[in-house]
Structure 1
Amino acid sequence: MFRQPALRRITGAPGATRSLRVQVPRRTLFSRMNERRRSGRPVENLNIQQLAKQAEDWHRQRRIFLWSGAIAGILSTIYTAYKLKLALEKHHKLDSNLPSTDPLASSNAADRKVVIHDEDGREIVPTGNSTVPTFPRTLDLPAFTAPMSSPSSDDSSDTAATTTITTPSSTTEYTLVGLGLRTVTFLGLQVYVVGYYVATADIAALQNALTKRVNPIATTLLPDEREQLRAALLDPVEGERTWDELLAAGVPARSAFRIVPVRDTDFHHLRDGFVRAIQARAAPGAAADDSFGEAVRQFRAVFNRGSVPKRKELLLVRDERGRLSIAYDGGAASKKEGRPAGRQLIGVVEDERLSRALWLNYLAGKKVASEPARQNIVEGIMEFVERPVGTVASQTVPAVNSKV
């Protein structure tokens, strides 16, 4: 579109008027570009370094903003979880003051063992391990009083001498107190699940002895007294002294540890761990005693055998005299190892000091074979002492009527 030339009025003398026609340049689409070309200036004047710096600053601020949001989210989650944990602990503490027979007390207490029933109606306790998922709530064990010939103490042999052992037909019921998983190395390599059983008829004596250590005139402990006993049993020094005195006095009279590997192992591997624990927990001066040394050699000879597949049962049974009986259930009969089917007695060690040192390895001290097992055993003890003496045998663990 073209603009018409403008008319400029020039005023001269009064009464005289002249008109001058002035040509104004046309503007087109390329007018500005032509002007710049004539002036010698570039079309665009960009500073690449400045633009790169601005982009880098923008990305840095963006990263800072995103990291700030992520950190704030993590801190919020941790804080919320911490407040929830405090609320649950407070709720649990309130529930712990309920009577032990109250359904709320047994269902909300996280540390109590939960008993369920299998398809055959037998009471079992979940272990939390997928390989060995449950332990029986009770065991029926023979007295293991028949004599047996000890196998050779030569550790170079892979198999023990075959011995026919006849156990009494009568059995004793043992009740589960606590269980846990043993792990080794800093990687937490799982080895076996171990459960501590006490003869049901001997629970009252253990209950009475522990109650009297806190309150000599009490038949049951109040909540603050139970906390005092729990702290003593978990204390490395006081706990070891307590259990050492009880075991030396024959309390409980009969007890057992049930060990079930969660991975394939062998008797030699188990033996080495047990022997180290016995030597570390033996009474001062026992190492220099020839009779104790002979007991350790007998114990080593019992484990001079072959493999222990996962899910197979090893029993360590301590009787009223402190004698240790070792039984193994390898399942089906094995001609290669000379082993009959079912649970069989494989060895006996008479020295009471050896079984006591082995028991202390699980029950007390600065370093135990399984800290989860020790914690769970202590909680089982707390269930004993919160009831009147003599009333525990039929209510050791609250049962849940459910199927698996």
Structure 2
Amino acid sequence: MLSLVGVGVRTVSFLRIQVYSVGFYADLNNPRLKLEPSMTPDEKIQEIVKTCACEIRIVPTRNTSYSHLRDAFIRAITTRLRDGRKDGTTTEEEAIEAASPIRKLKTLFPNTALTKHSPLDIFLYPPTPGQPRALTFRDLGSIESDWVAREFVLHYFEGEGPSPALKEMVIKAIESL
């Protein structure tokens, strides 16, 4: 069972326009989840994403398009790939293996509108030994890639993330775990 861990709003800073609300859900009752009091908030978030089923729920606050979200998602994941290669957190093998799932991710989104208040649920399945993790975009399709699935969710918590309020609320929620 997934629990709501935090919510926030994505704002385009230079225009101060709220684009979408975002929620982060996770299975915090997963027996494989091992959080230690000595872990930093970022380490706890990484452990939750690495170990548990998670969901990102995006609810547009204005009419948008799937292609607009797709472009933002692809930009975020390719930036994480580039930065990971630079700082050594992503291996050459992971980068090569991520290429095909990233191409597939580009094809999942229709050229149609995503109307105001219509949720887009993005579900990260828990790890299964010997299987790549699946990242499912409700009603659109799935990709299977440990790296892409994990890094897609983690990008919401990199730096300030797309929604600083989301990251702040998640950190407060997991402090006592």
The match for 1:326 is: 137
Q: Is 1:199 matched with 2:30?
A: no
Residues in 1 aligned to 2:117 and 2:66: alpha-carbon distance in whole angstroms: 14
The match for 1:182 is: 10
The match for 1:258 is: 57
Whether the aligned pair in 2 keeps the contact of 1:279 and 1:287 (CA below 8 Å) is: no
Match of 1:313 among 119, 124, 132: 119
Whether the aligned pair in 2 keeps the contact of 1:180 and 1:193 (CA below 8 Å) is: yes
TM-score, normalised to structure 1's length?
A: 0.38
For the residue of structure 2 that corresponds to 1:366, the secondary structure is: coil
Whether the aligned pair in 1 keeps the contact of 2:19 and 2:61 (CA below 8 Å) is: yes
Match of 2:141 among 347, 350, 355: 347
The match for 1:368 is: 161
Whether the aligned pair in 1 keeps the contact of 2:21 and 2:58 (CA below 8 Å) is: yes
Question: Does 1 or 2 have the higher relative contact order (CA < 8 Å, sep 6+)?
Answer: 2
* Alpha-carbon distance, 1:293 to partner: 0.9
Aligned residues: 165
Correspondences of 1:40-119 after superposition (within 5 Å)? none
Correspondences of 1:102-141 after superposition (within 5 Å)? none
Residues in 2 aligned to 1:357 and 1:286: alpha-carbon distance in whole angstroms: 15
The match for 1:275 is: 74
For the residue of structure 1 that corresponds to 2:159, the secondary structure is: coil
Match of 2:153 among 333, 349, 359: 359
Match of 1:377 among 150, 170, 175: 170
Whether the aligned pair in 2 keeps the contact of 1:244 and 1:360 (CA below 8 Å) is: yes
Residues in 1 aligned to 2:44 and 2:2: alpha-carbon distance in whole angstroms: 22
The match for 1:110 is: none
Aligned-CA RMSD value: 2.3
Query: Which 5+ residue runs of structure 2 have no aligned equivalent?
Result: 86-90, 128-132
Query: Which 5+ residue runs of structure 1 have no aligned equivalent?
Result: 1-172, 215-228, 234-238, 328-344, 386-404
Letter in 2 for 1:373: L
Q: What CA deviation, in whole Å up to 9, does each residue of 1:257-288 have, x standing for no partner?
A: 11100000000100111111111223424598
Letter in 1 for 2:172: E
Whether the aligned pair in 2 keeps the contact of 1:178 and 1:197 (CA below 8 Å) is: yes
Residues in 2 aligned to 1:375 and 1:326: alpha-carbon distance in whole angstroms: 25
Residues in 1 aligned to 2:124 and 2:102: alpha-carbon distance in whole angstroms: 16
* Alpha-carbon distance, 1:200 to partner: 5.4
Q: What CA deviation, in whole Å up to 9, does each residue of 1:194-222 have, x standing for no partner?
A: 001112542x544xx22x251xxxxxxxx
TM-score, normalised to structure 2's length?
A: 0.82
Letter in 1 for 2:58: I
For the residue of structure 2 that corresponds to 1:312, the secondary structure is: coil
Whether the aligned pair in 1 keeps the contact of 2:125 and 2:135 (CA below 8 Å) is: yes
* Alpha-carbon distance, 1:291 to partner: 2.8
Letter in 1 for 2:102: V
Whether the aligned pair in 1 keeps the contact of 2:26 and 2:48 (CA below 8 Å) is: no
Letter in 1 for 2:60: P
Is the alpha carbon distance of 1:368 and 1:325 closer, same or farther for their aligned partners in structure 2, counting shifts above 3 Å?
A: same
Letter in 1 for 2:5: V
Q: Percent identity?
A: 27
Letter in 2 for 1:280: T
